[in-house]
Amino acid sequence: MRDGFITIIAVMLAFAAFDDITTDNDTSFVVEHAALVMCGMWFALVSWRARRRGRRGLGNVSIGVTVAFALGQATLGHGTLPIRWAEYLVVLAGLVWFAVLAGILVWSAWHARDHATA
């Protein structure tokens, strides 16, 4: 359950950083890019844990999404340039995927806890 809650926080942090990068007029986004890198590292860890705990399908898809997220976030810049729509969509899709994964992790932990007490 802990991994699910931390993943939800990481998704919110990554979205805030993504929003800052794409809408702010700052010339340097060091903090925002560092936040995205840290979130990407967490996404990789939670993907690996899911795979290692027997959820190979979720883990493998999550590892692929993490790689795509990392490649997409590396090209983010100010504004939404038409030539970079793919990267923006990949990052947003990655955030949606990890929000769904967080929900799955929390739900399954909650469900397992309910069955253990019954």
Selection from 41, 47, 46 nearest residue 14 by Cα: 41
- Give the residue-averaged pLDDT of 22-51: 89
Higher pLDDT, 27 or 106: 106
Task: Enumerate the domain spans of the chain.
Answer: 2-117
Q: Where are the alpha helices (H) located in 30-84, listed in sequence order?
A: 30-52, 56-73
Calculate the average pLDDT of the chain. Answer: 86
Angle at 22 between CA 82 and CA 70, to 5 degrees: 85
Mean pLDDT of 104-115: 80
pLDDT in tens, 38-80: 999 999 999 999 999 888 999 999 999 999 988 888 877 665 5
The residue among 104, 106, 107, 94 whose CA lies nearest residue 58 is 104
- Asked whether the whole model's pTM tops 0.95, one would answer no
Give the pLDDT score at 84.
65
Residue 108 DSSP one-character state: H
Structure tokens at 72: 């997409």
| pLDDT at residue 117 in the model | 61
Answer whether 94's CB lies under 8 Å from 68's CB.
yes
Find, among 87, 64, 86, 7, the residue nearest to 39 by Cα: 7
Joined together, the tokens standing for residue 50 give: 């899911």
Residue 33: its pLDDT value, please? Answer: 87
Supply the pLDDT for residue 15: 93
pLDDT bin (cut points 50, 70, 90) of residue 24 is confident
